[in-house]
A and B are shown apart, each in its own frame.
Chain A
Amino acid sequence: MRDRTFVLGVVLATFFLVLLNLPSSVSSSLRGFFRGGMATYQGGVTRLLSRVHKTSSVVGNIGDVIKERDQLVKETVILRAQLRSFDGVARENKELRELLDFKKRLNLQAVACEVIARDDGYGWWQTIRLDKGIDDGIAADMPVMTLEGLVGRVIEAGAQTCDVLLISDRAFKVSVRFEEDGSFGILQGGGVSLYGDHSCGVLFRPAPSRVDYVRKDLEIKAGEWVVTSGFGGVFPAGLVVGRVVRMSLDETGLYQVAEVAPAADMARLQQVLVVTGP
C-alpha cells in the first residue's frame, strides 16, 4: 500500500512538473480544445438567455416601452436636424484629416463579434469571451471597442473564440490623452466598485479607472473626454476611452489623479468590434 502511494506520488509530481511547464503552443492547443468545445454551448445558452430576458422585459415593461418609443421618435427628429448641421463640419473635418494624413489611422478595419461569456472561469480577471478568433483574423493585443468607446484588448485568441481583458480590470493599462488639455497619462483599470446600488447586481459596474501622475498645474475639468494616445503601438490614437469624473490630489500632494468613467457600458456588452488593422 505504501509502495503504491509512493508510486502515485512520483507519477503525479512528474505529471505536474510537465503540465506546469508546457510550451505555450501546447498549452494554447489544450485551452483551444476545451474552449472550442464549449463555445457552441456558451453562445447558444447566452443567446437563449438574452432572448428570454428581452421577452420578459418587454412583457413586464410594456408601458415603459411605449414611452421609450415616443422618446426615440423625438430624438430621431432632433438627431436628423443635427445631422444636417453637421454636414458642413464633417466636410471640414474630412479635409483637415486628409491634410494631416490622419485618414489612414482613423479608418480602422474591425470584426463584429458577439459576447458569449463574461468573466474568466474563476473570476480572477474581468474578461469577456467573444465568438470569433484566429480564423476570423483576430490576434492577441488587438483593441476591442463598442460604438461608445474602448472596451479592452484581446488577451488570448483561440481558433474560434478569444478572451478580452476589460479596461475596468486592474491589470489593464493604456496610454491616454486628455482631449481638450492635450496632456498624456497612463490609465489603469479601477476594478469593481463595492459601493452603490449596483454592487448587488449580478452584472458588475466598474469603479472609475485612474490616471495617476497628472501634473498638478494642469486644469483638467470633470467631463473632459479621454482618448487613446497611440503610444505603445497596441491602441491606435483617438479611440474614446471615457470621461473624467473627478480630479483630486494623490497621497503625496505632488500630482493629480484623474478618475475616468469608461464610455462603454461594461455591464451590458453584447456586440463589440475587434480592431484588426488600420
Chain B
Amino acid sequence: MTFAVMIFLLLGGGLLQSLIPATALLGLAKPPFLMAVSLYYALAHPRGTAVMAAILAGVIQDSMSLLPVGYSALCFVIFGVFLAETREKLFGDSLFTVAVLGASLGALTTLGLYLMLSLNSLADSIPFWWVALKMGGTALLGLGVAPLVWWLAAMLERHVGLTYAGER
C-alpha cells in the first residue's frame, strides 16, 4: 500500500507540476510538487522507501522536462539520503520545518541542476541572474508546496491505514 500511495502522489505531483503555468517574476520556476513528495518520504519513511521515492520523483521530473534522465533523481537522492540520515538529530517534524526544508531544497535542487547542465554545456544560453531568480522562485514555491504535500500525503496515508514514521 505504501508503494501505491507513493505512485499516486508522484503521478499527481508530476501532473500538477507540468500543468501549472510558470510566471516570469519567479524565473519561470514550477511549483516543486515532485521534490515535496520526495521530501515527505525522506522525512517520514525508512531510508529505502525514501531513496525509491527520490529516484522515481527525479525520473518523472526529468521525463516531463527536457533535462537528461537522471539529473533530478541524483539531486533528490542526495538530499533524500542526507535528510533520512539526519532527520532525528537535526530536524523536528512540524510543518514549519517542512516549509523551510521545502524552500531550501527547492533552491538547492535548482542550483544542482544548473551545475549539472553547465558541466555538460547544456546551460550556455541561461544567464546566472536567471538561475538566481529561478532559485528564489523555487524556494518561494517550495515554502508553500512542501507543507501542503506533507499534509496531503500524511492524510492520505492515514486514510488508507498507514502511519508515517513521525507517528510510530
Complex interface: chain A residues within 8 A of B14 (CB): 34, 38, 121
Complex interface: chain B residues within 8 A of A60 (CB): none
Residues of B that sit less than 8 Å from A by CB: 11, 14-15, 17-19, 21-25, 27-30, 47, 51, 55, 59-74, 77, 81, 110, 113, 117, 123, 125-127, 130, 133-134
With both beta carbons as reference points, the residue of chain A lying nearest to B22 in the complex is identified as: A123
Residue interface bits A10-32, CB-to-B below 8 A is 1, else 0? 00100110011010000100110
User: Could you pull out 11 A-B pairs where Cβ atoms are within 8 angstroms?
Assistant: A12-B77, A30-B69, A120-B64, A122-B61, A124-B65, A127-B66, A155-B66, A194-B133, A201-B23, A202-B22, A204-B28
Interface-located stretch among A39-47, A74-82, A86-94, A238-246: A39-47
Given contacts A45-B19, A192-B28, are A30 and B63 in contact (CB under 8 A)?
A: yes
B19/A202 in contact, CB under 8 A? no
Complex interface: chain A residues within 8 A of B51 (CB): 8, 12
**A138 → B minimal CB distance (Å):** 16
Q: How far is it, in angstroms, between the C-alpha of A19 and the C-alpha of B68 when the chains are bound?
A: 10
Residue interface bits A101-126, CB-to-B below 8 A is 1, else 0? 00000000000000001111111111
Complex interface: chain A residues within 8 A of B123 (CB): 124
A41/B15 in contact, CB under 8 A? yes
**A127 → B minimal CB distance (Å):** 7
Complex interface: chain A residues within 8 A of B125 (CB): 169-171
A31/B63 in contact, CB under 8 A? yes
Given contacts A16-B70, A31-B69, are A121 and B21 in contact (CB under 8 A)?
A: no
Residues of A that sit less than 8 Å from B by CB: 8, 12, 15-16, 19-20, 22, 27, 30-31, 33-35, 37-38, 41-42, 45-46, 117-127, 129, 155-156, 163, 165, 169-171, 191-194, 198-205
Q: How many A-B contacts at CB < 8 Å in the complex?
A: 136
**A153 → B minimal CB distance (Å):** 13
Complex interface: chain A residues within 8 A of B81 (CB): 8, 12
Complex interface: chain A residues within 8 A of B73 (CB): 16, 19
Q: Which 7 A-B pairs have the closest CB atoms?
A: A121-B64, A120-B65, A121-B65, A34-B63, A123-B28, A19-B70, A170-B125
Q: How far is it, in angstroms, between the C-alpha of A81 and the C-alpha of B65 when the chains are bound?
A: 47
**A71 → B minimal CB distance (Å):** 29
